[in-house]
Structure 1
């Protein structure tokens, strides 16, 4: 069982997007590029994080290869909380702007009795207003793949015309066990499978 608490609104529900709207305004071919600028955190190194644009330019993905938090037998105190701070820049034509409309997270969790886990995320367009925070909680008994989506009914934050904009993406995985000698529980966004990635959905408009 999992829940979500959205504290501020940067994202718009993916259900409000339509293929016609995206394809009508979106760029084509090689007009959009993405750059991975910085990677920091206890749950990631630069060589364990990859970013890529979808062929239709309507989303970009972030894939982690060593992002895992664990608690219980054999885990250290610092293993219970792992973080990753990522900055990317999406470059679009000077006549267009872009915004993130929704984010899908996927991973795996094994939570023993008495354990719990959480995924926290923070999004911020550099040079814009206050960041957006989200928290997803996972209860004991989960032993499977999980997927959650950040979405809200607030207005979109678009990049400035004539330039790309950097996006700061901070995430945290945390696991809590009811005692130190409990069976090991863990949560991960660690995967070498392209199907298990964080997906940031995009929309575009003309300046």
Structure 2
């Protein structure tokens, strides 16, 4: 086993690395936050340390099982909401933090330090770029319910074109006197807002989900 001084230094590094990344996740109210990331980093560090000093030549077995275990943990933070998959970034962060804990146990301090900076940069700086991209192109599912008229859905699709939105009709249903159309639509935030205002003021629309 490493000396007490080295172990204390490694544990301090585990807390700092896991705490920094966890604080960013906690700030954005993610499901895996400050305490969780520290514990993930610590757990990976301990399993790797024990595998090196207990398993001898078979140390890779315990280390490889860390990856499998973290996979299950990461899957637990992924969920579907409002036609979107959420939690994938947090799940990927959990994988990365576990890898950092393993790296600390293997004395790869420089690589761990550089990787921590890269992870923090991806989580903090690239968020702004992600928001810009999201404003340029968004995907929404629109459901419009109207009293049946001939070629009514075509009229709505012409409105999509007028607003420079790309669409794909997913479903159309006639329920009594009502006609229901569902589309998945891509385009800029500005064009989506323009279409939404047009539909909200359209007297033929009885129900609009967006």
Normalising by structure 1, we get a TM-score of: 0.23
Normalising by structure 2, we get a TM-score of: 0.22
Going by fraction, where is strand more abundant, 1 or 2? 1
Going by fraction, where is helix more abundant, 1 or 2? 2
Q: Please identify the structure whose Cα radius of gyration is greater.
A: 2
